[in-house]
Structure 1
Amino acid sequence: MKAFNLARVDKDYDMHKQAWINHQVTLTKEQGKKQVPIYKRFEDFFDYAKRLKEVDQDDKNAITPQMRRMAKIAAKVNSGGR
């Protein structure tokens, strides 16, 4: 499941990167009497590292007490019941 979520983050990254490329020239805001870009860097538009941390945090929260109990049982069975 983590690999799937990481692949989705990569896909999101690619889509946001494409949107960045398509619109970086046209997105501006007025600063004084000049028009300046809203996003000076791609990372201001899409924080890849933050998204990876969110996926990693979701994985840590996904383990339930029941899953831990089942893992202990499986480990015991795999070790021959010792």
Structure 2
Amino acid sequence: MAEKTVTILSQQGLHARPASLFAQTAAASGAEVTIAKPGGAPVNAASILGVISLGLGHGDEVTVSVTGANEDVVLADLVTLLETDHDA
């Protein structure tokens, strides 16, 4: 399992468009991917509803966990999405 804590950098947080990109990337990876707020229960990162339900705003920290084939590459791709300001 690969895991990393990341800060959300989109100015408007993980709203519909960046959440959709994140969920689609997680789903396409074929790996088991979860995302969670500190101290919170992890949700399936391939579910846009699950991701949006976290209510992630700019500056929030999340932990992304990936289990499966190419987990380090998948994790790096997902971290890049979270560390990109999609609102710029």
**TM-score when normalising by structure 1:** 0.29
Identify the structure with bigger relative contact order (alpha carbons < 8 Å, sequence gap 6+). Answer: 2
- Flag the structure with higher strand content: 2
